[in-house]
Chain A
Amino acid sequence: MKFLQNILDSARPAVTTGKLKPLYPLYNAIETMLFVPNHNANSGAHVRDAIDLKRTMITVIFALIPALIFGMFNAGYQHYKAIGLLNDAIGWLQFFTVDNFIFGAIKVVPMIVVTYIAGLGVEIYFAYINKHAVNEGFLVSGLLIPMTMPVDMPLWMVAISTIFAVLIGKEVFGGTGMNILNPALTARAFAFFAYPSFMSGDKVWINTTTVEGEALVDGFSGATALGQYASTGETTYSAWDAFLGIIPGSIGETSTLLILLGGIYLIATGIGSWKIMLSSLFGAIAISLIFNLVAPNMISPEQQGFLSIPFYFHLVFGSWAFSTVFMATDPVSASHTEKGKWIYGFLIGFLGIMIRVFNPAYPEGMMLAILFMNVMAPLIDHYVVEGNVKKRLKRLIISAK
């Protein structure tokens, strides 16, 4: 620590007054990341609280890490299972092996590194142009983006999606705290529409490369549970497997259990809004029950099958849990009023499951539902505030009489 402190101290004159002054935002970012800054407020009343943007962000990172580590194991497990190196009789007992983890880490760590380099590159460039400090906002987005991607996503696509999301989703609106859309989901939506053959279908979720450059026979299908539902109306995965997360899917979203743990941690620390999570749960359950009611009226057996699945399937398959806990609760793009959060969350769950079931082209409706509700959040807030103003005006008139 002393050694790092010495390096920073010796570099300080150069970046504050010397030749390297343009690099100050970068210096400042590194310094405040490593050490507690010695800024003191010098006037006026100020709120004393240990929590600042950095602590908030790092809490979310902690909440994400279990699901991320699990995702690495799962990537390896699905890979070895697909190429037939695992003993089917003992199944998931071979899940937590070093081999699985190493395979997953080799795939996932480069994605995380590329995301951070691409995203922070844009952020630092804008900090330099606009002469402000680098914001911490990208810390979480940079980890969320790789977790929403399939394991075989080419790195340059991850980089382009990240740059697009930070540039168009965030910086043009004024940077961290000003964005209308969730940057991580913007990146995923961009990748989804730009490179659909890498982001959807039944070939992308499991790495089936046996030797460098040689893929498994084409007949192999690694469809996600939702993909299976959309095409056949049933799935070969059990809800219990899906709850634990031993199913194909994007890197970080398969394990509902660990996401749930992360969610509890976020609620306990007060970072994530429990209102949004709970109302999203209500929304998802409500639409699933409606679907169960109308299912017998459907003509095609696939539709009937997809509509009649019990609600808890919807909660464990696909990214409902991940999106609800980590994406919908993004404090910037979510609704800000307390009443608004209930409406916002409810509609996310409701629309997400609805898109997932009704449109086979988008088996994952949660992404689109959250982006849509991000756009609607200011409208919800507006009417909640207006409603409050009206209520208080009425009270005023009564008391004036």
Chain B
Amino acid sequence: MEMSKPKEALFSKKNRGLLKDPMNVNNPITVQVLGICSALAITVKLKPAIVMSLSVIVVMALANVITSLMRNMIPNRIRIIVQLVVVATLVILVDQVLKAFVYDVSKQLSVFVGLIITNCIIMGRIEAFSLGNSPWKSFLDGIGNGASYGLILIVVSFFRELLGNGTLYDYPVVEKLGLYELGYHNNGMMLLPPMALIVVALIIWWQRSKTPSLIEKD
């Protein structure tokens, strides 16, 4: 008989760490550099970025829970296929929901909703975490990683939409401030994909200068 472990509180320090760590020292985008492609593609405007973030949070949390529930049944050799089936099912569900309720955003996101399936963060977390942890912990891990992915997406798209388009969530901020009359012009470079990389790089730079533990010793 196994020794039953002492029961852990729902939000013990360790579990809170699962939510908090991805926000900073273990951020999927800025530290692990995963999921970059979607961060480039859908951060031109704030609205699609927010919808994308929510979709990824939902898919990630549910996929983590489901694989965690099945973790003792999945044969090791075919685990990637099982994970893909789980993620793909969830992504199709999310895609249908988006098409039904926010059709215009769904059109803007186009193929990138479908490509959540191949988002490295999701596969990475399932492989690295939920296959070896209880459903509750996997759920927290999914929420934490999804949210920190979303956080970066929203910060990047905030700057790209504000500087590139002069709007925020389609609200014409720059026009209302009257900057155009002073000779201000939008920065077209912000709308091009390279600028997303550079903004992410600047975030990484800022984060590392604030968090010495992330700086490699050379």
Residues of A bordering B, CB below 8 Å: 154, 156-157, 160, 168, 172, 190, 193-198
Question: Which residue from chain A places its CB closest to the CB of B209 in the assembled complex?
Answer: A129
- Residue ID in chain A nearest B187 by CB atoms: A194
A160 to B189, CA, bound (A): 12
Tell whether B178 is near chain A: CB-to-CB under 8 Å: no
B189, A190: Cβ atoms under 8 Å?
yes
Determine whether the beta carbon of B198 is less than 8 Å from that of A194.
no
The 10 closest A-B pairs by CB, nearest first: A194-B189, A193-B189, A194-B187, A194-B188, A195-B185, A196-B188, A190-B189, A193-B188, A168-B198, A154-B183
User: Can you name 22 A-B pairs with beta carbons within 8 Å?
Assistant: A154-B183, A154-B185, A156-B183, A157-B185, A160-B187, A168-B198, A172-B201, A172-B205, A190-B189, A193-B188, A193-B189, A193-B192, A194-B187, A194-B188, A194-B189, A194-B190, A195-B185, A195-B187, A195-B188, A196-B188, A197-B185, A198-B185
B87 to chain A, nearest CB (A): 36
Complex CA–CA separation, A394 to B192 (angstroms): 49
> What's the tally of chain B residues with a CB closer than 8 Å to chain A?
10
Q: Closest A-chain residue to B163, C-beta based? A: A194
Note all chain A residues with C-beta closer than 8 A to B185: 154, 157, 195, 197-198
CB closest chain-A residue, reference B192: A193
The interface residues of chain A, by DSSP majority, are classed as helix
Q: Within the assembled complex, what's the spacing in Å between the Cα atoms of A156 and B179?
A: 13
CA distance A168 to B205 in the complex (A): 11
Across the two chains, which residue of chain B brings its CB closest to A161?
Answer: B189
Q: How far is the CA of A366 from the CA of B187 in the complex (A)?
A: 23
Report the separation of the CA atoms of residues A167 and B189 in the bound assembly, to the nearest whole angstrom: 16
Min C-beta distance of B4 to chain A, whole Å: 54
For window 182-206 of B, CB contacts with A under 8 Å fall at 183, 185, 187-190, 192, 198, 201, 205
Tell me which residues across on chain B come within 8 A of A168, comparing CB atoms: 198
- Chain A proximity of B197: nearest CB distance (Å): 11
Residues of chain A lying within 8 A (CB to CB) of residue B187: 160, 194-195
- Distance from B160 Cβ to chain A, minimum over Cβ atoms (Å): 12
Q: A189 — nearest CB in chain B belongs to which residue? A: B189
CA of A193 to CA of B192, assembled, Å? 9
CA distance A196 to B192 in the complex (A): 13
Closest to B189 in A: A194
Q: A154-B183, A195-B188 are in contact. List 11 more A-B contacts (CB 8 A).
A: A154-B185, A160-B187, A172-B201, A172-B205, A190-B189, A193-B189, A194-B187, A194-B188, A194-B189, A195-B187, A198-B185
Closest A-chain residue to B190, C-beta based?
Answer: A194
Smallest Cβ-Cβ distance to A168: which chain B residue? B198
Closest chain B residue, CB of each to CB of A192: B189
* Bound Cα distance from A190 to B190, whole angstroms: 10
Q: Specify which chain A residues have a CB less than 8 angstroms from the CB of B189 in the assembled complex.
A: 190, 193-194
User: Which residues of chain B are near A172, meaning CB under 8 Å?
Assistant: 201, 205
Rounded to whole angstroms, the CA-CA distance of A196 and B191 in the bound complex is 13
User: Which residues from chain B contact A195 at a C-beta distance below 8 Å?
Assistant: 185, 187-188
